[in-house]
Structure 1
């Protein structure tokens, strides 16, 4: 269908302001800058060919006025269920690494869904759609749109490959260890229990004084009584490193630094364990590492939200706009921040 003359005039007038992004440029093409609208939303998503920022139908006209630009890439995506096949019924490979887009990690794709993607040039304020293959479409505009479509996008680049970066503890080479004397830690997992509550799972051995206590309670209510952390506090925060019993092998173990508040590497772990009579060469893995627990949690819960498999997105921006009272809005925002912090903090040891 030929492009109307008034639309052609707008395209010709603004074609030079349509920019072609390079791979290193940041292109916000996956979600509205002001809401959760995306290409799957009923009204699709509009990407400004000048700023490379995207907006939903509710906000795109305001952006056009502000940017003095009328030409957008319109994206509308649809999800269709694929017919079931023998291959689709086979068990999906279980991730062994907490990472996205890497071998043995989460793929981030649902193989049961087929995506249909539609792209048009949209000219405001009339919201006229023009096919990208239209022969009268200026070359600069077509090139800008195609480059945005081919671009990875800021969101995809941010989550493409994520693997936890565990650093060497600053205490590895100068860890204070009390005199062992007659204290010896049994290599038999059946003998391990929390000194405070008697729990036999999620146990952490303090490498400075051989105290054995539970880890912190994890998201979902499991994990322990938190005795190991309390011991660190009650001893003046001077014994920072603890190793998770059951994860110790010749390849390493889960070591947590309470002072650094993170999982760390301990290059002298074998020496620190030997001080308490533990031969790292004779131990076998009997418990899940924190990474394995995170993977299990992601498979069953949090990753489902991220990938929308549970359709639990909350339209917070719209929700907050309902309330005129600023104190109510601030309270709701604070509550949401606290909730998100609770989710991510409680899955740590």
Structure 2
């Protein structure tokens, strides 16, 4: 007890705005359910973790609350029923949860047993060690310091960071709560009723229940709330009181959600024209009339929105949708499922592809060996408070869970999917990648919401986030040779393409390589090559694969030949041929023909092959009314694919090539990074800020911008990718001296002399899609002729970025 008292100053009370991680470890997917030790939550930072990772590597000591939970199946008294009656009672006849004839709720089948303790921990011999532990319950509270008890209680009852993340996504999709029109002139009954500030004194005046209590702001009546969709909830006492009093007192507030922050209070209007959550601006004044001072209240229960999100987060919806389906049960390392967070299947499919040992190189970097200790990964060597928002840490957390098999549940006794009794519904074995979803998508307008998104778009965005994190934290990555830069994860999938253009005017040929590497091959499905085979004539469409009732299934079987729509098949080879085949391109400008415009035939091929090729099939096309239409087609994918025929071999014997364009001399156009300040371009502050936001150093960003002309962020980013491991990358640039005349001289000479600044700005404003540096390069290449400079820009769009880098 002395140790705990000595650390009492390292505690604070969690508020509604604190991120409290009380349901999941920040580094692993361990939770209060996964082991007898549960998780420990720091009472100062409110970050939860397993014991081994509870303190920073340079940390001293801290105070924690241990949370352990277990799910115990309820014992239901047996009733004497016939087999027929038992079958009828279990048969689902309604689409609902917790209602008669519907699916049974978790609360009806299981109860959660919780235990808590106060834990003092300190670093000893490089590891975290427990120095004192005291059970935390009503009997032991009196012996503990008051501050410790208040801190522990605030952590235990807090909705938690996981629910807050889901709630934020839910609120993005939901309509904002309106201000109740009844708040300003709400009737007040002066009946002398005063509400005690002690939560232990609150109870429903109808049923005597002490949970889910709502206070009527007009007459002080305390009643139970409505039932939730899963059968849990209150006694309907508050709503019944509203009806019994003639619908005169519509506004209620949930007791336990009231704090000095008005946004945390859960307010509701029973008025028929509102009937939903509302805001009550004068809530503090109304509560004061009943003896409640908001600045003295603490949040002790979860709001309705938090409970709804929690129910959606914990209920096993797949147990409903797949009930009765004959599936093949599998488990083990690399065979770990991910929980659907609500329309997150697009993300889960991408993560299973990349991080579940399908790609050995990524498994080696972010994952671990089967049955290995997942707490020892090198990327976990950072302070616990930094872990939830660290991209590399959260990626390793997810990959370790998928590759280790640490959270794999036992195989079910049969291949038939059951409901809540299935191990897949046990929170001990369910992995919900909420933290990963949040840290990757929090800055993206679409991926931070709970709406369905495109998997291909998410994959490419994920590569961007990983690239930036790996560049910024390259020293943390495992399996890195000393003095070398570890390859980016996206490089495993990167490839370039070569375009072969045949001019229609003179049949001369031009080869162009793609300006940037691609990580996804998007293939159009050529429906003109589709065929109907015997194997597809009797196949169901995706819509027909939905589960049917016994009666519907019998009817469908009898009429299958009449009602089944035939689904055609396209081979994968057809798709590759369509991608690589001749495509007509109109309006190309040909410099060797005095910039005349002529059409061309284009064929595509691979400049290089990636280690792994990711292919996206374009299943949507624009219909006649310009709306997207999904293609119902089967893709015949072979087990082995030979791409050698799609490799670019360069110019062939006998081909007449388009003459190479005369580019400006590199010796006259290059601006060396170490050139005198008067010869360097002016660095655009906005571009510098964008690059630094990606995690690169100021000096490195300045070097990149100087190299590409001062303002082109994309070109500077490419330069950084190629040169971030140069020995002088982070060295400061040469400082300006008094003789250089400051930045003004650099602005005048950012490119070569003889470029009219007035013409530059005129072209920038007129064209609207080119930067100042690009226009200056074009004017220099065309001897200052504005009309030719515009043509030069449009004809060099593909190679413009590389050209700027070269100068």
Instruction: Report the TM range for the smaller structure's normalisation.
Output: 0.3 to 0.5
Determine which structure has the larger helix proportion and give its number.
2
- Relative CO higher for 1 or 2, CA cutoff 8 Å, sep ≥ 6? 1
Rg larger in structure: 2
Instruction: Compute the TM-score of the two structures, normalised by the length of structure 2.
Output: 0.21
Instruction: Compute the TM-score of the two structures, normalised by the length of structure 1.
Output: 0.45
